[in-house]
Amino acid sequence: MHVATHSFRGRRTRSGTVSGCGDATARPAEEPRHLPLFSDPERRSLVTRDRFLPRLAQTVPTLLLVSLMVFGLQRLLPGDPAVVLAGDQPDPAVIAEIRHRLLLDQPVAFQYLHWLWGLLRGDLGFSWRIGEPVAALIAQKLPVTLQLAAMGFAVGIGIGIPAGIVSAVKRDTAWDWAANVVGLAGISVPNFWIGILLILLVCVDLGWLPPSGYVPLTEDWRLSLATTVLPAFVLGTNIAATLMRHTRSAMLTALDQDYVRTARAKGLGERAVVMRHALRNALVPVVTLGALEFGTLLSGAVLIEQVFSIPGFGKLVVDSVFNRDYAVVQGVVMVTAALFIALNLVADALYLAINPRLRDA
């Protein structure tokens, strides 16, 4: 009797077992899934311990170094603050009294330690020129600069990132050429010069907006936007050009990756490939730049506030430097440094939210 033999062809799975073609229990290996950021308490504690606590520990020596630099460099400036405060015809007795009140008759090391001790207690000092605590002055001026910087940042993001995406997707076309020319012009042309031209065109010739001044949002939000939209646009042009060039570079790198080619091979539309796959990975370096640029806007608003006569952080610093108001300059610099550090921590959190691979690194 002839017995028919059948060959069994199986395949070896990742676990080492052999499964046949008709094995219903054989399933493809599941791809690893990235859990959402802070999805469970254990993962949240690990992220906080491994990433954020070391960064927070670095803020202490950073702020200490900043305090040493701003305190020491101010003492190198020519001129005597006591003479400036005494007026045009100073009396030696008045100058001596002012120097005693400002501790200028004490050693520099004692002055620094006295100021640092007050800083640790939340006391930023007192402005004898203005007659108010430095903390109160900062509380008055900081919201003005924050509003101006936030509006400028929105302008930069609204122009720079879309222009960078279009430039990368339309590579070596007229769109790419135009975006690069405009971006190079935005980086090269000084902001204050653009501000002066826009004042002449928009405010003086056309009369569409007020040329200078500032109105708080709490008083009249329409007039407040009218007085800040032009300086915010001037601030945003430079950051828009920078973001455009970095977004274009990051997008070109992302579009050449294997996962983008795989997404296109699966039949996904070009919009989905660009927005859902390429852009998400390209945004990681752009987020870094964006956080740093927002901090730059806070310090870079000095000239723009002078051009548009906006009573913000920048104007306060300039007036304080010229009048040797040490306490105000030191307080403003320390607050600005703290804001820079906070923005970097925000950028670190955004890294993890945008790119899941960084959570498992």
φ, ψ at 19 (rounded to 5°) = -120, 145
List, for residues 1-16, the tens digit of each pLDDT value.
444 444 434 444 444 4
Computed over every residue of the chain, the mean pLDDT equals: 78
Contacts of 353 (CB under 8 A, 6+ apart): 37
- pTM for the model stands at 0.73
List, for residues 65-94, the tens digit of each pLDDT value.
989 998 888 888 777 778 777 777 677 888
Nearest one of 2, 1, 22 to 10, comparing CA atoms = 22
Pick the CATH number of 46-78+124-360 from 1.10.730.10, 1.10.3720.10, 1.20.1250.20, 3.30.420.10: 1.10.3720.10
- So what's the pLDDT on residue 360? 54
Residue 352 Cα distances to 102, 149, 250, 279, 349, angstroms: 47, 25, 18, 15, 5
Q: Are 327 and 111 in contact (CB under 8 A)?
A: no
Which of the 8 DSSP states describes residue 219? T
- Distance CA(156)–CA(221), nearest Å, equals 22
- So what's the pLDDT on residue 6? 43
**DSSP count for the chain of H helices, then E strands:** 14, 4
Q: Could you tell me which residues are beta bridge partners of residue 11?
A: 19
List, for residues 217-234, the tens digit of each pLDDT value.
888 888 889 888 999 998
- Distance CA(200)–CA(249), nearest Å, equals 36
Ramachandran quadrant class, 9 (left: phi over 0; alpha: psi -120 to 50; beta: rest): beta
Domain boundaries, the chain: 46-78+124-360
